[in-house]
Amino acid sequence: MKSILKVIDSISKWSGQIVSFLVIAFALVILYEVVARYIFDVPTTWALEISQALYGAWVILVGAYILWAGGHVNVDVVYARFPPRTKAIVNSFTWLIFFMWVGVLAWKGWEMGWFSLMEGEREPTSFGCPVYPTKLCIPVGAFLLFLQGLAGYIRNAIFAITGREAE
């Protein structure tokens, strides 16, 4: 079990590190637009759309990495007062809601992405950036999030049953 958890964690970490380069590409596109617009007075027709596409892909693909790193927001008003094992039992139910949400995200994301690809969907602007690459990131990101959620659920279940950490 430890090896499976380790593989899932490494997939989340690896994918997050790769996806982090989208932020650099995003920043370079914005920098180019700022220089072109304010220094050379020649704004682009493509920078906004490309930066939005890169940012959209980054947001959906970085979710598993953030879950692995423990960076998602929690509401701890009552939960923080529970002992660790009670938290693990409560988490068992919230993980089920998480899996339903990720399942719908993957399913609907795939439908939207596939339709967009088949239609060759583009932004309705003069540049006409393709939309389908970003939409196809939705089911990929949902799958990565599911994997990391599965690892979290397994760790949580082990702790709820035994009172000891899985690792």
Give CA–CA dist 112/95, Å, rounded. Answer: 25
Rg (CA), the chain: 20
Tell me the pLDDT tens digit for each residue of 31-83. Answer: 999 999 999 999 999 999 999 999 999 999 999 999 999 888 777 788 888 89
| Percent of residues, the chain, with pLDDT higher than 70 | 99
Residue 167 has pLDDT above 80, yes or no: no
Q: How confident is the model at residue 2 (pLDDT cuts 50, 70, 90)?
A: confident
Tell me the pLDDT tens digit for each residue of 76-97. Answer: 788 888 898 888 888 889 999 9
CA-CA distances (angstroms) from residue 23 to 3, 54, 73, 80, 145? 31, 8, 21, 33, 19
Give CA–CA dist 81/1, Å, rounded. Answer: 30
